[in-house]
Amino acid sequence: MSAKISPLAGKPATEGTLVDLPALLAAYADLKPDPAVPEQRVAFGTSGHRGSSFNRSFNEAHVLAVVQAICEYRKQAGVDGPVYVGIDTHALSQPAFESTLEVLAANGVDTMVSAGGEYTPTPAVSHAILVHNRGRDSGKADGIVITPSHNPPDAGGIKYNPPHGGPADTDATKWIADRANALIEGGLRDVRRMPYAQAARASTTHAFDFLQRYVGDLGDALDLDIIRASGVRMGVDPLGGAGVHYWSAIGERYGLDLTVVSEVVDKTFAFMSLDWDGKVRMDPSSAYAMQRLIHLKDTFDVAFACDTDHDRHGVVAPSTGLMPANHYLAAAAWYLFQNRPGWSPDAAVGKTAVSTGLLDRVAAHLKRPLLEVPVGFKYFVPGLFDGSVGFGCEESAGASFLAKDASAWSTDKDGLVAALLAGEMTARLGRDPGEVYRDITGLLGDPANARIDAPASHAQKQKLSKLAPGQVSSQTLAGDAITSVVNQADGQPIGGIKVMSAQAWFAARPSGTEDIYKVYGESFRGKDHLAKVLEEAQAMVDQALG
């Protein structure tokens, strides 16, 4: 159960094998999925359907079927406003965008596409949906985002955001996936489609300036005046992602000292450093993948990066270097709930079941409710929509929070506001987020945590996702009495298992987006104790899996 760190980890991507773009694009059009093979069917993970055209898991047939299914779903759900469509910089995103538009236009759906062909971050789509729907009882909008998030360059992805602006819940995604698979099994005969050139000129296709809408409203979510007045020097690496042109627009509009390290878009992502497994992965929370920005930590007062669709963030502080995601999330929650007087005193701290237990202690110290949910940002959507959750976060560096007046800002993960919050924090407190984190742990305890990623087959992932508390027979965890064993959070299955003591916990679950499983562990007794926790986690899960 231990992940093998590749000898190439952290080295330039050019030392590995870069994706063959012509072959990838040819495979999108030429290879047909076999619906009898589970890995080739449409399956929505924690955030949409993802795969690679090489593996017949993300091909033209998948996208055509998914979008036709979305058209049918929104019709039966009574959603009759426009669809806002976003697209990231992955190579497969452009042909998938064309397939998407072909189906939407043929179905007569009003479609808002980015003006001038600009790339569109996930949070810009979420925010546009929320703004459109404000005060409406009819004509409500929803959205489609074409992205596999931080996944490798050969990946493609598509996800659906209903009128609440966030990721669709399981009921919606199951309906869409089931219908899409039926359409593929039927040879796509019931898919309506027109040629792309015709779809692009259709009367239902409209240009929309996502960038100006999002950038223009940013002051609703952040105190940009204090960042400007303090002169905090910020650096950002867009990692060649969808927000690549948003950052300079933000800096110019609000007069910020914000340096964009690079605006290069290269669909092989050859400028990256290789991740833990020697693959190119645009993960801003990975020290292996973030080498370019880590080397600049002393150049700025705070620096940050976002993944390809800009729904995740990574923060580099001079005091610490790249902050582990859990560290920054704890600092962000600590700061926000003491500096957002417009929020309800009952607004909760939201976290996933595998995020740091320090967030539990932060919530208790600040006398805030805690909402713990399964992995998947969709579980925060209702609270971020109605203001009952002030800040929702997951340990994989995804977060969003309310606007300053407690209205919904983005009900999907927003890497831009989460990253820029580091600048606001530094400006107001005169301390970088790493120093803020140190202050919190001095008061509430300093947890050691780790996550192990390892390869897993489809069958292994299925088995792990169905573990029940009764399959764990141990009474202690690394010397402490086990206080609870659960496979649910907030009444929903977590897709794995979580074992807790008073000072430590571990959770094991399969990834919803890649062929890996993850074991998370944390201890408030230090790194040696954490090592024992993870060792025993391995034994318990191995025993439970037989």
Residues involved in catalysis? 149
The position carrying tokens 């987006």 is 513
Alpha carbon 266 to its chain's center:
21
Helices 415-429 and 122-133, axial angle in degrees (round to 10): 90
What would the two tokens of residue 382 be?
């209702």
Classify residue 38 by burial, with Cβ atoms within 10 Å: 0-12, 13-18, 19+: exposed
- The tokens for 52 are 């690679």
- Taking the C-alpha atoms of residue 399 and residue 122, their distance in angstroms, rounded to an integer, is 12
> Which residues, including other chains, have CB under 8 Å from residue 209's CB and lie 6 or more apart?
114, 115
Contact 370, 349 (CB under 8 A): yes
Cα distance between residue 76 and residue 74, in whole Å = 6
Q: What is the DSSP letter of 501?
A: -
Reading the block at residue 114, the tokens are 């980015």
Please state, in angstroms and as integers, the Cα–Cα distance from residue 312 to each residue in 149, 396, 451, following that order. Answer: 8, 8, 17
Q: How far is CA 436 from the centre of its chain?
A: 24
Check residue 59 and report its DSSP letter.
Answer: S
CB atoms within 10 A of CB 444: 18
Expressed in angstroms, the distance from the first to the final Cα of the chain is 14
Strand partners, 477: 480
